[in-house]
C-alpha cells in the first residue's frame, strides 16, 4: 500500500512530558485506519502531535512522500489535512449554516462553497433541517455531525477524527459510523481515534493498537480483533 500520509517515529506530548513514544502510522488513499487502545494510551496526543497542536519532540510527517513536519497547523490545513477534536468543535453561538461557512473560510468562490455545502447536507441531512438553528441547540450527535461537516467544507484529502462518538447513544453511534463511511466513499482518507474499538476495527481497513504511548500491534481490523490478548487486555472486550 502506498501511503498518502505517513507519521514516522512520533514522540509527542505536552511541555516536557512525553506521552507518545515512537509511533509510526500509515494512511492510504481513501482508507479508514483506526487508532485504538485503553484510555490514556496517547491516541489523541498522537493526532495533536502530528497536526502541530501538541509538542512534537521527535519524528517526521509526510504527505505524498514530501516532508511537512515543520509546517504550522494552518499550513497543514491548507494542504488538505483537517483535524476534528472531540470537544469544543463547534461555534455554539453561530447557526449551523454559519458554522459550515466558517469551514470554507479559505474558499472565495461562492459556487464552490454552495457545492460543498450541498455535499455536507447530502451526507448529514439533519444539518440541512437544522441549518438556521444555533449550534448550542443541537444534540450531542448532531454537534459531532456539524463538526465533521465543517471540516468537509474545506474539501479535505485527509480527516483526523478524535473520538467522534464519545458519550453518544448506541443508535447515534451507528448512524455516525455509517456517515463516516460515506465520507470515505467520497474520496477522503480517515484516521479515526475511537473508544468503540470493536465497531471502529470492523469498519476500518487497518488499525493500530496503542498502549502506554507505544504501538503494540498493527494489522487489519480482523487481525486485531482476532488477537485474544488484545481483546481482553487492551480493548476491554470479553
Predicted pLDDT at 232: 66
Predicted pLDDT at 35: 96
Residue 149 binned pLDDT confidence (cut-offs 50, 70, 90): very high
Residue 235 binned pLDDT confidence (cut-offs 50, 70, 90): low
43-52, 77-86, 181-190, 220-229: which range is least confident on average? 220-229
DSSP symbols for 106-175: T---HHHHHHHHHHHHHH-HHHHHTTTSBGGGS-HHHHHHHHHHHHHTT--SEEEEESTTTT--HHHHHH
The answer on pLDDT for 237 being more than 60 is no
Express as a percent the part of the chain with pLDDT over 70: 96
The answer on pLDDT for 236 being more than 70 is no
Predicted pLDDT at 39: 87
Q: Are 54 and 12 in contact (CB under 8 A)?
A: yes
Q: Are 170 and 198 in contact (CB under 8 A)?
A: no
The answer on pLDDT for 79 being more than 70 is yes
The answer on pLDDT for 96 being more than 90 is yes
Q: What pTM value is reported for the model?
A: 0.91
Q: What is the mean pLDDT of the chain?
A: 92
The answer on pLDDT for 26 being more than 90 is yes
Predicted pLDDT at 56: 97
Question: The cell 470492523 sits on which residue?
Answer: 202
Residue 166 binned pLDDT confidence (cut-offs 50, 70, 90): confident
Q: What is the pLDDT of residues 204-218, one digit of tens each?
A: 999 999 999 999 999
Mean pLDDT of 192-205: 92
Separation between Cα atoms, residue 151 and residue 106, nearest integer Å: 12
Predicted pLDDT at 238: 40
The CATH code belonging to domain 3-234 is 3.40.50.300
Residue 135, CA distances (Å) to 99, 126, 166, 191, 201 in order: 8, 12, 18, 25, 30
The answer on pLDDT for 77 being more than 80 is yes
The answer on pLDDT for 22 being more than 70 is yes
Separation between Cα atoms, residue 14 and residue 191, nearest integer Å: 21
- Could you give the count of Cα atoms lying within 13 Å of 64 in the half-sphere of its Cβ? 6
- Three cell numbers written together for 38: 485503553
Among 24-28, 108-112, 193-197, name the most confident range. Answer: 24-28
Predicted pLDDT at 228: 82
Amino acid at each position: 500500500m502506498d501511503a498518502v500520509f505517513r507519521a514516522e517515529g512520533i514522540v509527542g506530548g505536552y511541555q516536557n512530558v512525553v506521552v507518545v513514544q515512537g509511533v509510526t502510522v500509515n494512511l492510504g488513499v481513501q482508507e479508514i485506519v483506526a487508532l485504538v487502545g485503553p484510555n490514556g494510551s496517547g491516541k489523541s496526543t498522537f493526532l495533536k502531535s502530528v497536526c502541530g497542536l501538541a509538542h512534537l519532540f521527535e519524528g517526521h510527517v509526510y504527505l505524498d512522500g514530501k516532508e511537512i513536519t515543520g509546517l504550522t497547523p494552518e499550513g497543514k490545513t491548507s494542504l488538505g489535512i483537517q483535524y476534528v477534536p472531540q470537544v469544543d468543535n463547534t461555534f455554539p453561538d453561530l447557526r449551523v449554516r454559519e458554522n459550515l461557512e466558517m469551514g470554507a473560510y479559505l474558499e472565495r468562490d461562492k459556487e464552490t462553497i454552495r457545492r460543498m455545502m450541498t455535499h455536507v447536507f447530502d451526507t448529514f441531512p439533519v444539518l440541512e433541517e437544522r441549518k438556521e438553528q444555533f449550534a448550542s441547540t443541537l444534540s450531542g450527535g448532531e454537534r459531532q455531525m456539524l463538526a465533521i461537516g465543517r471540516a468537509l467544507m474545506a474539501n479535505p484529502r485527509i480527516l483526523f477524527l478524535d473520538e467522534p462518538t464519545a458519550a453518544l447513544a448506541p443508535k447515534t453511534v451507528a448512524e455516525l459510523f455509517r456517515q463516516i463511511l460515506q465520507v470515505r466513499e467520497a474520496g477522503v482518507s480517515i484516521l479515526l481515534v475511537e473508544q468503540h474499538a470493536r465497531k471502529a476495527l470492523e469498519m476500518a481497513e487497518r488499525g493500530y493498537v496503542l498502549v502506554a504511548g507505544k504501538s503494540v500491534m498493527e494489522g487489519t481490523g480482523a487481525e486485531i480483533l482476532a488477537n485474544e490478548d488484545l481483546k481482553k487486555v487492551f480493548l476491554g472486550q470479553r
